A and B are shown apart, each in its own frame.
Chain A
């Protein structure tokens, strides 16, 4: 079993929809949780960085962490065609030390 599980999709939604992306994990030591966006043939770009449980909002993006369920989510409101990319969840026991990534969910927002 992988330490981090992420549905690879692809996920296709109409423009303006609310998108929900999720990951589950098995390592209880994980304390830091990140979401990255990766466009084709580019390096990942950090979207959200959170510590422990709770919610964090940044513009159209909201990250949620439920450590009791070992479940994290990223919500994208008012999705745009420019949001079409692969979204990677990532987590670690200590900041950016030894970060473990999910396989990524490919998202397509249809105009």
Chain B
């Protein structure tokens, strides 16, 4: 079992550009959440996807959007990048069924905006 996988591992962009990050959940999981973790801070919840719909959203602007595919994998898109978007972006997966007490994180994508 590969666990939660994310790609790419690192990314460098310039202000104003757009970025797409990808996540594959752990086998058996159907729910994907995205978090932003700034240096020295705890993860901040961006949004959660279940059944290909955004179910919950944190306090992030509309520049942050996402998508979930029928195979439960997910993408996070960030438009009009700002310097403050530089962070570790974490994907976490869980299940609405019998595995609902477990949430696994991927290794993250480290985004640097110059």
Contacts and interface: CB of A to CB of B under 8 A. Distances in A.
A88 B43 contact: yes
Contact of B103 (A4, A42, A96, A98): A96
A13 B34 CA distance: 33
A45 interface: yes
B58 interface: yes
Nearest to B41: A103
Interface string A1-29: 00010101000000000000000000000
A31 to B, nearest CB: 13
B24 interface: no
A43 to B, nearest CB: 3
B90 interface: yes
Interface string B25-57: 000000101010000111111001000000110
Contact of A43 (B40, B102, B105): B105
B69 interface: no
Contacts of B105: 36, 43-45
B104 A96 contact: no
Contact of A102 (B31, B42, B45, B101): B42
B55 A97 contact: yes
Contact of B90 (A4, A8, A43): A43
A51 B102 CA distance: 13
Interface string A61-90: 000000000000000000000000000101
Contacts of A4: 42
A6 B40 CA distance: 12
A99 B90 contact: no
B76 interface: no
Interface of B: 4, 31, 33, 35, 40-45, 48, 55-56, 58, 90, 92, 94, 100-108
